[in-house]
A and B are shown apart, each in its own frame.
Chain A
Amino acid sequence: MDEPAPRLTLPERLGRSLALIALIVGGFFPFVWMLLTSVKTEGELQKFPVQYLPGSLNFANYAQVFTQQPFARFFFNSLTVSLLSTVLAIVVAAPAAYALSRLNIRGRGLLLTLVVAFSMFPVVSLLVPLFRLMRGVHLLNSYPALILPYAALSLPVAILTLVAFFSAIPRDLEAAAMVDGSSRVGALTRVVLPLSAPGVVTAALLVFVNSWNEFLLALSFNTRLDMRTVSVGVTLYQGEFAFPWPLIAAAVVIATVPIVILIAVFQKRFVAGLTAGGVKA
């Protein structure tokens, strides 16, 4: 939307600038504050009034994050679990979304409603039965113990987003391909699929972020230290009574970096996805 900006009066421009500044400062400050905290020394932190800028850049905390806990392993676990959850969710959601947006299905509205209902299941209510299920099939402390629930929990969001994107692709294109002698599957792979690539990317991003951020199931199912994910890993630095904040801050920064990068690169896709589907927070 690059229309010329409407002419604003001075107070309006002032108001808009203030709102934008508040938005940008408010959104970034907590993360920036962790960044600053992570390069301070314990001594610099224990000052009041607060010392805002570090005296020197102290990266020892970052080194300690990796030596005090197997954080590299946590990171690898999170990456593996999130990527595989994303692949599984998309592979399952795409055909379902295609069927829901393209085929003449009786009870289509009811099916979409059911999908929404699934997105509203409280995860904490599933904790015990899922735990027993995973224990029953000997999957505790394994990647599938998280991949299966993450894919399932993100599936409604992925389906609704993809349905919105697929439905925006004109049916005429597909019909034309089919008139030209293409089969339905051919029309799907040669016409619909390439056009829906942005939708698939958007849905994949939403699933990845959900999986990277999940805490409760990761906390409860994968309790062996070498199977922990980063969202649980960042909580492992606090002692019974002590909170080594520079260390926690460094771990928090490392754990958030992938999210920040994804957001910065794919901001438009995220906005498109969230506004298209009416997706869960």
Chain B
Amino acid sequence: MAQPTRSQRLHLQPSAPRRSRREPSERLLAFLLLLPAALLLCGVLLFPMLTTLRDSVFANKLTEPWAGTPFVGLKQYAQMIHDPRFLQALRNTLFFGVLTVGGSFLVGIPMALAAHTPSRVRGLARVALLLPWAMPPVITGLIFAWLFNGQYGVVNDLLVRTGAVHEPLRWLSTPGLAVVALVITVVWKTSSFVALIVLGGLQGIPRDLTEAAQVDGATRVQSFFRVILPLLGPSLAVAFIFRAISAVQVFDIPYTFIQQAPAQGLLETLGVYIYRTSIEFLDFGYAATLSGALFSVSLGITALYVRFVRGGEG
């Protein structure tokens, strides 16, 4: 919905007859109203981000204080692209990203359709939709670590009861299974977001359109694929870009899982590796370089979003 409303808004801008004498005061007012937000954003987000980019070309290891903080240029960037741990973390992040973003759409779209149809339990359905989205991520991680517990976990219980497996699986300490558990957890947490954006899109589609299609003899499935899905395009695109951003930055849930099964190299995302480099290895210089890489990826996806929104406005 964000995108159509934005373009609508542009057309609603009245071309109010501007009285030139009012102009300076209006500009001053706008400046004053925007100033606090600009100060907070620049002081707490932009300035630290620029600091990170500057720090990425200086060495700064707190564990080697005698070395000081010499300028090393792009040396740390060269170190990064040859760092097997970075490459592994990058691969993990991209792999999780593809699976969890794809998964959240596969689950989220049907969720939105279910929540959209009028029913007596609509309020309850809406709460069920919001709960995973609003749950603190670190708590989601803890809950699912318990659901996937290797000895007494309810997931194992259901698998054994249904005869799918004979022995309980050690979900979090088996590399492949830990990845599956992480993907399921993140998909549970993020499908809601996709569903909510799609729900917004569905609410903006006039019922007449689907009814007209049905009068013309289309089945519900046909009218979904031919009428509804194309109209959902903008909502899906917005949901996709925001999901992609949160996927490359994912930290809390993998971090919680690693606490439960410390040796899982496959669970280390870029976010977790940056955290460890800064807080555990105290290598602030290299952490800044890694952050620069993550920031570039995020910026790339943001640029995609901007292009998309701008394209919609034109």
Contact = CB atoms under 8 A, between A and B. Distances in A.
Interface string A267-281: 110110011111111
Question: Of residues B32, B149, B200, which shows the largest number of chain A Cβ atoms within 10 Å of its Cβ?
Answer: B200
Contacts, number: 316
B136 A259 contact: yes
B271 A124 contact: yes
Question: Of residues B9, B14, B161, which shows the largest number of chain A Cβ atoms within 10 Å of its Cβ?
Answer: B9
Interface in B193-231: 193, 196-197, 199-201, 203, 207, 211, 220
A3 B122 CA distance: 13
Contacts of B126: 267-268, 271
Interface stretch (B69-77, B79-87, B140-148, B174-182): B140-148
Given A117-B306, A216-B251, A276-B200, A26 B188 contact: yes
A49 interface: yes
Does more than half of chain B's interface fall in helix, strand or loop, or is it mixed? Answer: helix
Contacts of A249: 146
A151 B156 CA distance: 41
Contact of A116 (B259, B274, B275, B305): B305
Contact of A120 (B38, B123, B279, B302): B302
A107 B237 CA distance: 24
Interface residues of A, number: 108
B19 to A, nearest CB: 11
Contacts of B13: 104
Question: Of residues B14, B18, B49, B207, which shows the largest number of chain A Cβ atoms within 10 Å of its Cβ?
Answer: B49
A155 interface: yes
Given A31-B135, A122-B298, A23 B129 contact: yes
B246 A281 contact: yes
Contacts of B110: 19
Given A129-B51, A164-B5, 17 more contacts: A16-B117, A23-B129, A24-B121, A28-B131, A31-B135, A48-B168, A50-B157, A104-B13, A116-B306, A120-B301, A122-B248, A122-B249, A122-B298, A123-B251, A124-B291, A277-B2, A278-B3
A-B pairs with the 8 shortest C-beta distances?
A275-B200, A27-B128, A278-B2, A125-B291, A19-B114, A129-B48, A152-B44, A96-B37
Interface of B: 1-3, 5-6, 9-10, 12-14, 16, 18, 26-27, 29-30, 32-34, 36-38, 40-41, 43-49, 51-52, 55, 110-111, 113-115, 117-119, 121, 123-140, 142-144, 146-147, 149, 151-154, 156-157, 160-161, 168, 188, 190, 192-193, 196-197, 199-201, 203, 207, 211, 220, 238-239, 242-243, 245-246, 248-249, 251-252, 255-256, 259-260, 271, 274-275, 278-279, 284, 287-288, 291-292, 294-295, 298-299, 301-302, 305-306, 309-310, 313
